[in-house]
Amino acid sequence: MAPPLIVLGVGRSGTTLLRVMLDRNSQLAIPYETFFVPQLAHRHGRRPQLDKFIEDLGRLRTLYDWGITPEDVRPRLHDGMTTREAIGAIFETYAERQGKTRWGDKTPLYMQQLPLLERLFPDARWVHLVRDGRDAALSFLELPAGFSGKTWAQPRTVAQFAARWRTEILAARRLGRHAGGRYLELRYEDLVADPEREVGRVCEHAALAWEPGMLDHTRVSDAANMPEHRNLAQPPTPGLRDWRSQMSHEDALAFEQVAGDILRNAGYELLEPDGRYPTTRGRLELARFAALSRSWNATAAAYQRSPLWRRSHPPLH
């Protein structure tokens, strides 16, 4: 099977829009956010014991939501395979069920797991979608507390979101330097302004045939079941969020103090274009986010390796 295509982006950066467009391609199947990749990688190390791996698959609601079962994946598993290959077999099973020959992924929470993803999928093609972080912050901070992208480690203020935005964009760019020609960066604003051109760039990057139906995504969007993606029910529309009119001056300055250098580098306007960023206050916010993220990720990895994970993920039928 051809290399996977993995869409990267900070939460609320338009990655779901891009995923839905790409999933319309007759060759490529990209499911909604998966979440299980780090769990399986942490639980099974380099080479899984297949019986235990299959048993863990039976505890993942995502598979059943996809309409597949562990028994559907089993024929693709064999003794001696790596955990990377075993995880790939799940996606291959999903793609086959969709009548596709290639698979991809789009899970913004993986932006803090990029070294792991790079090890698991060394041949992947990466597409990184960057959105003005102030617009992304407006969208993220209005989500309800129970939204799957919000945990105790997630931002609750504009400055905290700026720390996440800056940190994760730089992490994706580090991956891009290692991946070389397998990495492509797009701007959300360019995608919604000229979707045919930008999706065409992704197709060329991923060696996919361009298909006009990729732009006709509104009929098959996720909007019906997920109110947070209600804007997918309309064509790509510039200006759905506009920090200039919807964000306070104080919040906009707070974002710049943390991530003004990355905003400038990405071509976004600044309130104080000659400022030196991050400021002292911005560096403190970044240090806070880094410490919180390390704690959260270490705790999550330890939990996923422990018997507690199985207790909280009972077998499904």
Q: What is the pLDDT of residue 240?
A: 77
Q: What is the pLDDT of residue 301?
A: 96
Report the range of poorest mean pLDDT among 96-100, 110-114, 229-233, 250-254.
229-233
pLDDT for 108-161, tens place per residue? 999 999 999 999 999 999 999 999 999 999 999 998 765 544 455 679 999 999
Enumerate the domain spans of the chain.
Answer: 5-150+165-238+300-312
Q: Give the separation between CA 265 and CA 169, rounded to whole angstroms.
A: 11
Per the listing, tokens 């990466």 go with 126
CATH number of 5-150+165-238+300-312: 3.40.50.300
Whether 256 contacts 271, CB under 8 Å? yes
Helices (H), 58-148: 61-66, 70-73, 83-97, 114-120, 133-141
The burial class, CB within 10 Å (0-12 / 13-18 / 19+), for 61 is exposed
Say what percent of the chain tops pLDDT 90. 87
> What's the whole-model pTM score?
0.93
What is the Cα–Cα distance from 75 to 41, expressed in whole angstroms?
A: 20
| CB of 64 closer than 8 Å to CB of 73 | no
Residue 217 pLDDT grade (very low, low, confident, very high; cuts 50, 70, 90): confident
- pLDDT tier at 224 (50, 70, 90 boundaries)? very low
